[in-house]
Chain A
Amino acid sequence: MASPLEQFQIHKMVPLEIAGHDVSFTNSAAFMVLILGTIVLFLIAGARKPALVPGRWQSAVEELHEFITGMVQENMGPKGRAFVPFIFALFLFILVSNLIGLFPYSFTVTSHLAVTFAFAAFIFIMCIVIGFARHGLHFLELFYPPGTPIYLAPLIVPIELISYLSRPLTHSIRLFANMTAGHILLEVFAGFIISLGLAGGALSVLGILPLLMNVALYALELLVAVVQAYVFTLLTCVYLNDSINLPH
């Protein structure tokens, strides 16, 4: 029987090497292209025939955009409006990759720490650059809040610094761990169905139990896919908010 981890393997589809670096086109990259295609199709379908009374697709796209605008407004205030396109793109990419990963035989891009950490690290660096660009050295007040007694500085500054440095770690591991754990669970229960079904006799009848479990797990995974995409973008908003509006 196939290992439940086989679904996470990366295969090279078009081997490619540039200046000694392996930049092969892999199944992961292929699914990213598929995700982008799906998003573009979805948005085109929504914007193709703009009407005052929106149709189904237009309504879906508008609702989604309104949802993101509301989230940005709530977490970052009026200064955050410039980030709506970025947050919108981020949410759609993660949402669609989580959902496409739920199709049998497909590949979940977000179940790889390399992908989620790339996102988290990019957002982390973006936060720092924007913070310094908007507030100059005042941005460092994030690590040393004004009004803190000077004798507490040797304690407060490293603690705040480590707390800030741990952000990309929690940010990326949360999404990655949720997706990976869910997919392993689905695969393990699917394995039970096959091995019980092949056992023959009364045991074959028992195979219906893991099947029912898998149906329930699929519903749960659908929820997890949407919630994790939401949580990832919400945290991005929270982190960007610290850079745009200094908390004090």
Chain B
Amino acid sequence: MSDPAAPDDLTRLGARLDEAKARLVPDPKRVAAAALGSGFRLGLELVSGVLVGAFVGWWLDRWLHTSPAMLLVCFFLGLAAGFLNLMRAVKREQAAVDARKLSEHPQG
């Protein structure tokens, strides 16, 4: 430790380590905000399928006087459609993430 440059080198190394760590481990607040956003987006995909299904069922019931058969059937079809929406949205996001990763690390 007689070398006066050593502590300076160490702090510089520390700064570089922090920088590298920040690159690998993103800011948790940012991750939380992004997760909240995608959670809301994906939740909406599921809910909209159920809502539209239930609405179609209710409308068919009123038209055909079959209450509540069509509402029940279409509710569950809507649930399936919601999950289909959800799966497609996740696939779309995954494709976007993959494309971004590929452009950042072309060999990996």
Contact = CB atoms under 8 A, between A and B. Distances in A.
B49 A166 contact: yes
Interface string B22-60: 000000000001000000110011001101110010000
Interface residues of A, number: 16
Contact of A162 (B33, B45, B52, B92): B52
The CB with the most chain A CB atoms within 10 A, among B48, B56, B74, B92, is that of B48
Nearest to B53: A162
Interface range, B side: 20 to 34
Contacts of B77: 155, 158-159, 162
B85 A166 contact: yes
B48 A170 contact: yes
DSSP majority for the A interface? helix
A155 B74 CA distance: 11
B9 to A, nearest CB: 36
A166 B80 contact: no
25 contacts: A158-B77, A158-B81, A159-B77, A159-B80, A159-B84, A162-B52, A162-B56, A163-B82, A163-B84, A163-B85, A165-B52, A165-B56, A166-B48, A166-B78, A166-B85, A169-B48, A169-B52, A170-B44, A170-B48, A170-B85, A173-B44, A174-B44, A177-B44, A220-B33, A238-B92
